[in-house]
């Protein structure tokens, strides 16, 4: 077995879980100040209260797996992306503190509302910067980062940052449609469609710009027969976008959220297709930055034991707290 590929697949799985699960609760924070009433904001907080901290388990999972299975990549990425990674950590701390303090604050609640939103937006934007900088490429010589502190700030990474803020907002809106009732649900339904249009616009812009700026990605997508094999990816995105509209119009409240998850997963698939087998763009493969085979075997067997436990308690929590949230159930 090629344990480098297996560990890369496990890393990709963790990344997908994090983007989906923490994505919607970051999205709730992004939308927070635009809620029509304070009761709506309380319901929004209640909808994510049982799950938000557990969702961040997948960030720890991904960071630990990257460190253990791909230590050279860990070293390069943290050196190259120090700025957005530190911003992400600070944003998540700010957001977590605001979440807990808001519950008890009265006079200063406005401050924690602002902090919760600011932390959510900054966390999403930082993740977009990391994604954009990773696709753009990192200057490396002999597996050592040779760029400068601000190399991660490019027009492409800034666009990716804004796109992910909008994308998480869209995912959060579909979550609120599924989990809330009354005025909160109606407001979430009202904003989901324009947010989806913005997501599709950003996807189109990035899909056009990326092949034009990076010839190797253009070759991957548009050379024959690759084009025939890969064209279903954008087609499925359009089908899922239609599913969002259909679910909203037919009052099938779970459908828009499930379709939004599908759109995000297809976006992740598109990124993997574009950069595989490179972990550090433009030319360092997963095998060049991987740990020894014995280390990767240890990681594999450790995850074979621990991953089912993580998935089990995640499924259990979401099953226990399924269904709609009302303002009477604030913070459970």
Give 180-223 as a DSSP string: B-HHHHHHHHHHHHHHHHHHHHHHHHHHHHHHHH-HHHHHHHHS
On whether residue 330 sits in a domain, the answer given is no
On whether residue 13 sits in a domain, the answer given is yes
On whether residue 77 sits in a domain, the answer given is yes
For residue 141, the model assigns a pLDDT of 82
DSSP 36: S
List the beta bridge partners of residue 285. 278
d(CA 274, CA 293): 26
d(CA 284, CA 278): 5
For residue 327, the model assigns a pLDDT of 64
H or E element: which one contains 152?
A: none
H or E element: which one contains 249?
A: helix 232-249
Cα 96 off chain centre by: 17
d(CA 146, CA 80): 8
Per residue of the chain (332 residues), what is the pLDDT tens digit?
A: 788 899 999 999 999 999 999 899 999 999 999 999 888 888 898 888 888 878 888 988 988 999 999 999 999 998 889 999 999 999 999 998 988 888 777 778 888 889 999 999 999 999 999 998 888 888 888 878 888 888 889 898 999 999 999 999 999 999 999 999 889 999 999 999 999 999 999 988 888 888 877 787 888 888 888 788 888 888 999 999 999 999 999 989 899 999 999 999 999 998 898 888 888 888 888 998 888 888 999 989 999 999 999 999 889 988 888 888 776 555 54
For residue 212, the model assigns a pLDDT of 78
Residue 313: which residues within 8 A CB-CB, separation 6 or more?
A: 54
Contact 109, 127 (CB under 8 A): no
d(CA 279, CA 69): 12
List the beta bridge partners of residue 144. 141
Domains held by the chain: number: 1
For residue 164, the model assigns a pLDDT of 95
d(CA 283, CA 148): 19
Residue 67: which residues within 8 A CB-CB, separation 6 or more?
A: 74
On whether residue 329 sits in a domain, the answer given is no
On whether residue 130 sits in a domain, the answer given is yes
Contact 237, 266 (CB under 8 A): yes
On whether residue 331 sits in a domain, the answer given is no
For residue 332, the model assigns a pLDDT of 45
Closest CA to 136 of 274, 289, 285, 288: 274
Determine the Cα angle at 255 with ends 37 and 25, to 5°.
Answer: 45
Question: Which residue has 């502190």 as its token pair?
Answer: 149
On whether residue 332 sits in a domain, the answer given is no
d(CA 77, CA 276): 17
For residue 39, the model assigns a pLDDT of 85
For residue 225, the model assigns a pLDDT of 86
Structural domain boundaries, residue 179: 3-324
Question: Which residue has 């297709």 as its token pair?
Answer: 273
Residue 130: which residues within 8 A CB-CB, separation 6 or more?
A: 81, 84, 85, 88, 152
d(CA 265, CA 31): 22
Q: Is 298 exposed, middle or buried (0-12, 13-18, 19+ CB in 10 A)?
A: middle
For residue 261, the model assigns a pLDDT of 95
DSSP 141: E
For residue 185, the model assigns a pLDDT of 92
């Amino acid at each position: 077995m090629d344990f480098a590929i297996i560990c890369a697949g496990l890393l990709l799985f963790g990344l997908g879980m994090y983007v989906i699960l923490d994505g919607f609760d970051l999205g709730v924070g992004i939308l927070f100040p635009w809620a029509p009433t304070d009761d709506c904001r309380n319901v929004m907080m209640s909808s994510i209260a049982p799950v938000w901290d557990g969702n961040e388990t997948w960030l720890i999972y991904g960071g630990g797996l990257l460190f253990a299975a791909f230590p050279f990549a860990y070293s390069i990425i943290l050196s190259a992306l120090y700025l957005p990674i530190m911003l992400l950590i600070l944003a998540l701390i700010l957001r977590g503190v605001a979440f807990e303090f808001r519950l008890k604050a009265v006079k200063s609640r406005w401050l924690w509302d602002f902090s919760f939103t600011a932390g959510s937006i900054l966390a999403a934007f930082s993740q977009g910067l990391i994604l954009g900088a990773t696709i753009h490429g990192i200057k490396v010589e002999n597996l050592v980062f040779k760029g400068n502190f601000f190399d991660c700030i490019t027009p492409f990474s800034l666009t990716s940052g804004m796109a992910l803020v909008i994308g998480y907002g869209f995912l959060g809106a579909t979550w609120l449609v599924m989990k809330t009732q009354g005025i909160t649900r109606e407001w979430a339904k009202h904003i989901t469609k324009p947010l989806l249009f913005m997501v599709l616009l950003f996807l189109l812009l990035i899909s056009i710009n990326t092949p034009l700026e990076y010839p190797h990605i253009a070759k991957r997508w548009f050379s024959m027969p690759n084009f025939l094999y890969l064209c279903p990816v954008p087609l499925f995105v359009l089908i899922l976008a239609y599913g969002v509209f259909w679910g909203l119009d037919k009052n099938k409240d779970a459908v828009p959220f499930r379709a939004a998850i599908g759109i995000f997963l297809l976006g992740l698939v598109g990124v993997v297709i574009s950069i595989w087998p490179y972990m550090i763009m433009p030319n360092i493969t997963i095998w060049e930055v991987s740990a020894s085979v014995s280390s990767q075997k240890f990681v594999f067997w450790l995850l074979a034991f621990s991953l089912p436990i993580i998935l089990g308690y995640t499924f259990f929590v979401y099953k226990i707290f399924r269904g709609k949230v009302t303002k009477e159930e604030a913070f459970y």
